[in-house]
Amino acid sequence: MSDEHDRQDGAASLEIEVEGLRKTFGRREVLKGLSFGVPRGGFLSIFGPNGAGKTTTLRVLATLLTSSGGSVKVAGHDVREDPMPVRKAIGFISHNAMLYPDLTAQENLRFYADMYGVEDREARITELLERLELSARRYDVVRTYSKGMRQRLAIARAVLHRPRVLLLDEPHSGLDPRAVDILDGLLTEIRDEHTFVMVTHNIAKGLEWGTDLMIIEGGRIAYEHAADVDHESFSAVYREHVHDGSVL
Amino acid sequence: MKKLLSAPALFIWASVLLIVGILLAFWYSPIDASSMGFSQKIFYYHVPIASAAFVAFGVAFVAAIAYLRTQDLKWDRLGYVGVRIGLLFSILVMATGMIWGKAAWGVWWAWEPRLTTYLLACFLYAAYWVLRSVVDEEDRRATYAAVFAIIAFIDVPITFFATRFLPEGLHPVVVGPGGGGMEGSIAVSFAICMVGMLLLMAAIIRRDYEIELIRDRVTDLKTSLGG
Amino acid sequence: MSGWSQFKAILRKDLIRELRTRDMLVSMILFVLLAMIIFHYAFTVKEGADLTYFTGGMLWVTFIFAMLLGLNRSFAQEKDEHCLDGLLLCPVDRVTIFFAKTAGNLVFLLIIQAVAVPVFALFFIERNFLGDLLPFLIVLALADLGICALGTLLATISMNTRSRDLLLPILLLPLIVPVLIAATGATTLIFAEGASFGSLVARLLLLLGFDAVFLVAAWGTYDFAIGE
C-alpha cells in the first residue's frame, strides 16, 4: 500500500503527485495537463495571473472539484477514487474563513471536530485557541470578530484534525500585520511536519516560505524551479508571465 | 440502414403513417358506439400525442441518467431536446383534449386526471427550462437539469395517480376508447396513428438533437477563432 | 467519527444557529398566522360562508409557502459565508449532509406547525378533532417528510443559481402536487367529518409511496446536486 511505500522511501517520497491534470468546465478547458509533485515536507508556492487555473488546481487537490482527466494523488490516495482519506489528510485555508457567523468559536470548532472525528476534541480546541490568542473570545459569536480574528480562527479550523497537508489559497490577503505575524508564527511551528501548497500573489511570502516555485499560466505550467532564486530574477520572470498588479 | 433512421427518412415514414392513419380513422373505422359520436375520432391523434409526450420525457430521463454517469454533454443536449418536444406535445395533448371536451361535453376544461397531469407536466418541464436559463456554467447547468429531469419524470406517474383522488367533475371526459378493448378496424387505425406519431416524435427529436450538436460545433469554432 | 455522529453534528449546528437567531422561525410563524387571517378575509365574502371543506387546503397551502421561505434560508448562509466549502472539505458522505439538512428543515416545520395548528383550529375548525389526533399527526409527518426531502434537494440546486429565491417555488410547487392532494384531502376529512385510518389509507399510502420514492431519488442524486 502507499503508506508502506512512503515509509520505505522516507523524505524522498511524494506527498502530492499530479500527472496530466485536466479540468474542463463544460467545453471550457481550464487546466490543460499539469504534472508536478510535492515531496513530503515540501512547500510549493504557486503564482500566476487571474484565471490561470491556480485556484482550480488547489480545489482539485482539496477534492472540492473533480478532475476531467489525469491523476491526482494526495497523501497516497487518489482524489477521485478515494476522496475520504484525502479529506482527512488535508486542511484548507482560504481568504474565506468558512466559519458560521452565528455560532461561537467553540461551537464552530466543536462542529468541525465532530465532522473530522477528532478524539481529544476539547483539549485540542483549548490548545489551538490559546496558540492563536483567541481564548478570551471563545464564547463569543464569530459575527463579532474582526477579519484578523476570523482568519486566526479559520487557521484553527484548518489544523484542528492534524492534517498532513495544508492547502493555502491567498492566506495573507486582507490580513492586518498582527494577523500576518500570527499566521506566519503558526506556519513556522508546524512547518516541519507538514506539506504545503500555497497559491499567492505575494512574491515575498511565496519566496520566503516556498521550497519550490511554480507559475501557472493559461492552464499550463509556465515556469517551475526550486526556491533558491533571488527576489530580483524571480520578479523579472514573474512580471513576464503575470501581467496584473501583484504585490512584489 | 442508417439512412432509414435518419431524420428526413423518419419524417417521411411518420407522415405516411399519420396520413394513412387519419384517412383510415375517418373512412374505415366506424363511429364509436359511445355517446360522443363523431368527436371521438380525435382520440386517434390525442392518445398517440399523449404517448409521444410521455416517451419524449422518458428520453429526457434516460439522457439525464446517461449524462450524470458519463459527463458527456451530448446527453445533455438530447435531454434538453427531449424536454422541449415533450413540452410541445403536452401542449398539443391539452389542446386536442380541450377540443374534444368542448365537442363532446360542451366544456373547454375539466379537472380530470389525464388533462390535469399533462397540465402539471407542462409546468414541471417549463420549470426545467427556467432552471437551465438561470445557471451560467455549462456543466453545472447540465448537472442540475439532469437531476431535475430525473425527479420530474418520476413525479409524473405519481401525480397521475394522485389526481384520481380528486372528486370527479360534473363532466368526466373519457380520454380512452369507449368501452373495453378496441374492435378490429378501430385498433388498426389507432395502431397506425400511434406508430406514426411516435415516429414523428423521434424524427423531431433526432433533427433537433442534430441541430444542437451543430450549434455546439459552431460555438467551439467561434471560441477557437478567438470569439 | 461515523455517519451518525456527523449527521448529529450538522443537525445540532443548524438547530443551534436557528434557535439562537430565531430569524427564520419567527418570520415563518408570523407568515403562517398572517396567512390565516388573510384567508379569512379572502374567503368570507358571503355572510356565514362555510369553510369546513376548505380547511385542509388552507392549512397546507400555508405550510408549503412558509417552507419555501425557510428552505432558502437553510442554505443561504452556507452559501454566503462559503461554509459550504468547509462542509464539503470534511470527510463526510454527501448523503449524510442531505439527511441532516432534511431533518433540520423537518424540525423547523414541525415547530411551526405546533404553533399554527392550534391557532388554525381556533379560527376555523368547529369540530373537536382531538379524537382523530393520531391519524392527523401521521398525515402531518408523512407530508412534512416529502416536502422537506424534495425541498432540501431542490434548495441545494437553486441556491447555486442566479435567481435563488424565485427558482425554488417554480421547481418545488409542481413536484409537490401529489403531496398536496393527499394531505389536503386527508386533513379536510379529519377536520370536517372525522376520519378513521380506513378512509385515509389510500392517501396515506400515496404519501408513504411519495416519500419512499423521492428519498431514494434524492439519495441517488444528491452528490450531483451539492458537488461542483
Look at residue A165 and tell me if it is in a domain: yes
In C, which residues are within 8 Å of A107 by CB distance? 13, 16
Segments forming the whole domain that contains residue B118: 43-168+184-220
B192 falls within a domain: yes
Give the closest residue to B196 by CA, choosing from B37, B47, B61.
Answer: B47
Do C178 and B159 contact (CB within 8 A), yes or no?
Answer: yes
Residue B171 pLDDT grade (very low, low, confident, very high; cuts 50, 70, 90): very low
CB pair distance less than 8 Å for A27 and B73: yes
Does C3 have pLDDT greater than 60?
A: yes
pLDDT at A127 over 70: yes
In a domain, A31, yes or no: yes
What residue of A is the nearest CA neighbor of B72? A26
Summarised one tens digit per residue, pLDDT across range B70-121 is 989 999 999 999 999 999 999 999 888 888 888 777 888 878 788 889 999 9
Total number of domains in chain A: 1
Q: Which domain holds residue A67?
A: 2-241
**Domain with A123 in it: what CATH number?**
3.40.50.300
- Give the pLDDT of residue A73: 93
Write down the mean pLDDT value for chain B: 83
Q: DSSP string covering C76-129, please?
A: HHHHHTTHHHHHHHSS--HHHHHHHHHHHHHHHHHHHHHHHHHHHHHHH--S--
Q: pLDDT value at position B150? A: 96
Q: Do C86 and A112 touch (CB under 8 A)?
A: yes
Q: Report DSSP state, residue A214.
A: E
Closest partner residue to A87 (CB to CB) among C13, C82, C89 is C89
Is A12 contained in some domain?
Answer: yes
Check pLDDT > 60 for residue A10.
no
Residue-level pLDDT at C132: 80
pLDDT tens figures, A158-199: 999 999 999 999 988 877 788 788 888 888 888 888 899 999
Q: Radius of gyration over alpha carbons of chain C, in Å? A: 18
What pLDDT score does A153 carry?
92
Give mean pLDDT, residues A207-212.
89
β-partners of residue A220 are: A217
pTM value surpassing 0.80: yes
Long-range contacts of C123-130 (CB under 8 A, 24+ apart): C123/C36, C123/C37, C123/C40, C124/C36, C124/C40, C124/C51, C124/C55, C124/C58, C125/C55, C125/C191, C126/C52, C127/C191, C127/C192, C127/C193, C127/C194, C129/C190, C129/C191, C129/C194
Using alpha carbons, list the distances in angstroms from residue A8 to A194, C118, C163.
Answer: 18, 70, 54
Phi, psi for residue A153 in degrees, rounded to 5: -65, -35
Contact yes or no for A24/B137 (Cβ under 8 A): no
Q: C46-70, pLDDT tens digit by residue?
A: 777 778 888 889 999 999 999 998 8
The answer to the question of residue B1 being in a domain is: no
The per-residue DSSP string of B184-201 comes to HHHHHHHHHHHHHHHHHH
Q: A10: left (phi > 0), else alpha (psi -120 to 50), else beta?
A: left
- Identify the band that residue C130 occupies on the pLDDT scale cut at 50, 70 and 90: confident
Residue A3 banded pLDDT, cuts 50, 70, 90: very low
Residue A188: what residue type?
A: T
Chain A residues near residue C17 by CB distance under 8 angstroms: 100, 102-103
Chain C residue numbers touching B152 (CB-CB < 8 A)? 174-175
The mean pLDDT value for B180-207 works out to 80
As a whole number, the mean pLDDT across chain A is 86
Query: Do B73 and A28 lie within an 8 Å CB cutoff?
Result: no
Q: ipTM exceeding 0.95?
A: no
Query: What per-residue confidence (pLDDT) applies to A174?
Result: 76
* DSSP-derived secondary structure letter, B107: -
* Average pLDDT of the segment spanning B25-32: 67
Distance CA C10, CA A97 (A): 18
Confidence tier at A8 by pLDDT (50, 70, 90): very low
Interface contact B155-C178, CB threshold 8 A? yes
Tell me whether residue B93 is in a domain. Answer: yes
**How does pLDDT run across A73-88, given as a tens digit for each residue?**
999 999 999 999 999 9
Which residues on chain B are in Cβ contact (under 8 Å) with A25? 137-140
B27 found inside a domain: no
Tell me the average pLDDT across C93-120.
Answer: 94
What does the pLDDT read at residue A123? 94
Q: pLDDT tens-digit profile of C198-222?
A: 778 888 999 999 999 999 999 999 9
CB contact under 8 A, B152 and C167: no
Helices (H), B106-183: 113-133, 138-163
Q: What is the pLDDT of residue B226?
A: 74
C-alpha pair distances (Å), A217 with each of A32, A237, C98: 10, 12, 38
Contact (CB<8Å) C227/A66: yes
Residue C38 near residue C122, CB atoms below 8 Å: no
Across chain C, mean pLDDT equals 89
Residue C154, pLDDT score: 95
Stretch B120-127: mean pLDDT: 93
- Using CB atoms within 10 A of its CB, is residue C118 exposed (0-12), middle (13-18) or buried (19+)? exposed
Does pLDDT of C147 surpass 90?
Answer: yes
Between strands A14-25 and A69-74, the pairing is antiparallel
Nearest residue of A to residue C3, measured between CA atoms: A115
Query: Would you say residue B35 lies in a domain?
Result: no
The domain containing residue C50 runs over which residues? 3-226
At C10-56, the pLDDT tens digits run 999 999 998 888 888 888 999 999 999 998 888 888 777 778 888 88
Overall number of domains in chain C: 1
pLDDT value of position B33: 56
pLDDT of residue A11: 43
Would you state the pLDDT for residue B183?
Answer: 67
In a domain, B153, yes or no: yes
> Which residues face A24 on adjacent strands?
A29
Q: What integer pLDDT is reported at residue B147 of this predicted model? A: 96
Cβ burial of C130 (10 Å; 0-12, 13-18, 19+) is exposed
